[in-house]
Amino acid sequence: MQKILIANRGEIALRIIKTCQEMGIETVAIYSEADKDMPFVKAATKAVCVGEPPVNKSYLQSDKILEIAKSEKVDAIHPGYGFLSENAAFAQQAINEGIIFIGPKPETIELMGDKIASRHTMEKAGIPVVPGSSVGLKTIEEACGFAEAIGYPVMLKASGGGGGIGMVFCENEQALVKFYTSTKSRALAYFGSDKVFIEKYIADARHIEVQVFGDNHGNIVHLFERDCSIQRRHQKVVEESPSPFLSDSVRNKMYETAVKAAHAVDYTNAGTIEFIVDENENFYFLEMNTRLQVEHPVTEMITSLDLVKWQILVAQGKRLPLLQNEISSSGNAIEFRLYAEDPVRFLPSPGKITTLHWNQKEGVRIDSGYEEGGTVTPFYDPMIAKCIFQGETRKEALELAKSFFKEMKIEGIKTNAPLFLNILANDDFQNGSYTTSFLTKNLVK
């Protein structure tokens, strides 16, 4: 593999470029007109403009991206996360053109991207799933009948949803009736399908995911877990490993279940099995992300492995670099997603970054797509950086994070750093006794 096109932008594009440079692989970056001065454009071996700023005219232009890939004679495409990373049709188009898609097989992406189909597949494999419907609900009467059978509250979900989109909490039948039609319409608009289903809402839950990796030779391993329970509107804000909540026995059972789930779909490349865990440590399959996760640096910090390098090696047809008994974890790592965001109203805060000082030190990793003088535009996700901290103990990692956010300096835009300091000062968070409702109950109304 001599040349890879990166079908993404910002920090993940830079992250992929870094590994490609270390492996001696040339890179082709695509960029929108709004991103022409971004660091990832300068870092790539070559950069090609893909279109106007809106995503549907640039980073979602699959045909245009494939045209660029062919004209640049690339060997492979790395989709990063978001955009086209879980688009089975795009993956298949690339393969049809003789270009390697750095990710799982298109049929796996399609299967696991449909939440109803993935629930059904996991049930057949003996994987515990959240109580709910494993078929699409056709009428409001059917939805109400099902919800009454499993008991309120429930979550009404779009089968093709993701990233918190297409999920509605319904405390009672009145709420379900109110949101049913609008959720179906939203699902159709965002995901091209109006299929919806219902799951039992698990109160005081933890959201814990297991990183898995498979090759084309039947080998699948886990790379431990990440606790992603600090969320706002179903969007992850903080992720850490190991989870401060899980007992070792349940942790190991979760690893076994994640690998079993991956085998059930003959999984290859990087993927994540996501579980919802109740207060008694009963865990249930929630979904599978068939791509590299935003929070993959947490795993890289505790394992000292390069997951992007693993992705490329597997895509080349090679075996996994390590067997399960050769993979170990050390210390604690925690990641905070730093956004250009008003910390009070929680609205995007685009603008020019006039000052950017990270206060870099040992144990701190910053994956950022911006530099001083750069502009956060309103066209894309306003994440400025992922700030990851590692210590021998959880307490060390948290203290490192606290000093970092107190000392870092970003001017010209607002950020959600004040929220992080509030989280770090909270006793429940310090004790590791938090759930997915932590922000709602403590800091964000």
The pLDDT-based confidence of 6 (bands split at 50, 70, 90) is very high
- Same domain? For 185 and 272 the reply is no
Q: How far apart are CA 376 and CA 296, in angstroms?
A: 23
Among 174, 200, 226, residue at a domain's last position: 200
Q: What is the DSSP string of 349-360?
A: --EE--EEE---
Residue 412 buriedness (CB in 10 A; 0-12 / 13-18 / 19+): middle
Among 185, 200, 215, residue at a domain's last position: 200
Question: Domain holding 357: CATH number?
Answer: 3.30.470.20
Do 79 and 99 form a contact (C-beta atoms < 8 A)? no
Domain assignment of residue 25, given as a range:
3-102
Task: Kindly state the helix (H) or strand (E) to which residue 78 belongs, with its residue range.
Answer: strand 76-78
Q: What's the mean pLDDT in 184-198?
A: 89
Among 83, 102, 121, residue at a domain's last position: 102
Q: How far apart are CA 386 and CA 292, in angstroms?
A: 15
Check pLDDT > 90 for residue 123.
Answer: yes
Across the strands, what pairs with 230? Answer: 238
- Same domain? For 344 and 326 the reply is yes
Token pair 């995007």 is found at: 348
- Same domain? For 157 and 302 the reply is no
- Give the chain's domain count: 3
* Tokens of residue 356, six digits: 């950017």
Rg (CA), the chain: 21
Pairing of β 355-357 and β 409-411:
antiparallel
- pLDDT per residue over 253-295, tens digit each? 999 999 999 999 999 999 999 999 999 999 999 999 999 999 9
Rounded to the nearest 10 degrees, how much is the dihedral formed by the CA atoms of 110, 112, 117, 120? Answer: 150
Q: How far apart are CA 349 and CA 268, in angstroms?
A: 38
- Same domain? For 289 and 327 the reply is yes
Residues in the chain: 445
238 lies in some domain = yes
120 lies in some domain = no
- pLDDT per residue over 222-260, tens digit each? 999 999 999 988 889 999 999 999 999 999 999 999 999
Give me the half-sphere count of Cα atoms (radius 13 Å) on the Cβ side of residue 399. Answer: 7
What is the reported pLDDT for 444? 62
Question: Domain holding 161: CATH number?
Answer: 3.30.1490.20
- Same domain? For 218 and 181 the reply is no
- Same domain? For 148 and 265 the reply is no
Fill in the DSSP letter of residue 324. G
Check pLDDT > 90 for residue 56.
Answer: yes
- Same domain? For 243 and 229 the reply is yes
The pLDDT-based confidence of 364 (bands split at 50, 70, 90) is very high
242 lies in some domain = yes
- Same domain? For 169 and 92 the reply is no
User: Which has the minimum average pLDDT: 75-89, 151-165, 345-359?
Assistant: 151-165
What is the reported pLDDT for 322? 98
- Same domain? For 258 and 171 the reply is no
- pLDDT per residue over 416-432, tens digit each? 999 999 999 999 999 99
- Same domain? For 217 and 323 the reply is yes
115 lies in some domain = no
Which of 15, 186, 206, 291 is catalytic? The answer is 291
Q: What's the mean pLDDT in 404-423?
A: 96
Q: How far apart are CA 412 and CA 406, in angstroms?
A: 17
- Same domain? For 218 and 156 the reply is no
What is the reported pLDDT for 329? 98
291 tagged catalytic: yes
- Same domain? For 308 and 329 the reply is yes
